[in-house]
Amino acid sequence: MIVLDQMRRLHLVGPLIGAAAVAGVVLAGPLRAALPGAEQIVFEVFRNGAPLGHHKVVFRREAGDLHVEIDIRLEVKLFFIAVFQYRHRNHEVWRDGRLVAIDTETDDDGEAFWLRGRATEDGLAIEGSSGSFLAPADVMPTSYWNPQTVEWARLLDTQRGRLIEVAIAPADIEEIAVAGRPVKARRYKVTGDLTLDLWYTAQGEWAKTSFQARGAEVVYARQGEPAALAEIEASANDR
């Protein structure tokens, strides 16, 4: 079936979205293992303007560590029959600005993938459906909630459990719609083993993502007001 064949290319979704934005994290300086400004980030996903599913990220603090829970559910239907399904779950643990544990499970339209990573003295030990290897201790996963992602040329693919090479270049600052209101965000163009665009606000919030899959445009639309804007509005209302 043509639609199904097109959507099978959405295995790119794993690396693209193995998660979401952290509110209030600036682009400069080390990542802080603290609870982000937004406890939950939600993206609605669209394919050529039609609803495709959601990408949710939940942040919580536990014993000084930052836990990140990611849930992605995508589905394409033809005449009310599901012809493509994608499920991805990811649990990350960050400590002192570094990833110390990661566990992911993916069902890419019937093809299963898994990944397990644990910090060691020598780096992040990875094992999964693609094999085992030792990643750098400061490796950055393809979950994208950390805006410092744009500073890296090698990322950990959170679906297939491999290191991928990318080039990330800043583009223009654009005005995009977030929860129905205009927000300024800088676009970053990602090329190499991945091809996509990412948008981050000046406060370091992940605001949007887009990429092509078999000629179809897939867009991540941020739901809910960015934490930084909510704080500004609340402050104004208090005056």
Q: How far apart are CA 102 and CA 129, in angstroms?
A: 14
CB 172 within 8 A of CB 185: no
What's the full length of the chain, in residues? 239
For 154, counting Cβ atoms within 10 Å of its Cβ (0-12 exposed, 13-18 middle, 19+ buried), the class is: middle
Residues 180-202 pLDDT 10s: 889 999 999 999 999 999 999 98
Residue spans of beta strands (DSSP E) within 120-215: 124-128, 131-135, 140-141, 154-157, 162-178, 181-192, 196-201, 206-213
C-alpha count within 13 angstroms, C-beta hemisphere, residue 106 = 27
pLDDT tens-digit readout, 107-122: 999 999 999 999 999 9
* Lookup: tokens for 25: 């994290």
Torsional class of 171: left (φ above 0), alpha (ψ -120 to 50), beta (otherwise): beta
Lowest-confidence pick of 8-12, 51-55, 126-130, 175-179: 8-12
**Given a cut of 90, is residue 26 above it in pLDDT?**
no
Spatial separation of the C-alpha atoms in residues 107 and 220, rounded to whole Å = 20
pTM score, whole prediction? 0.80
- Contact (CB, 8 A) for 220 and 211: no
Residue 77 pLDDT class (50, 70, 90 cuts): confident
pLDDT at position 93? 98
> In Å, how far are 28, 52, 71, 91, 138 from 149, measured between CA atoms?
11, 25, 19, 18, 11
Give the mean model confidence (pLDDT) for residues 196-223.
92
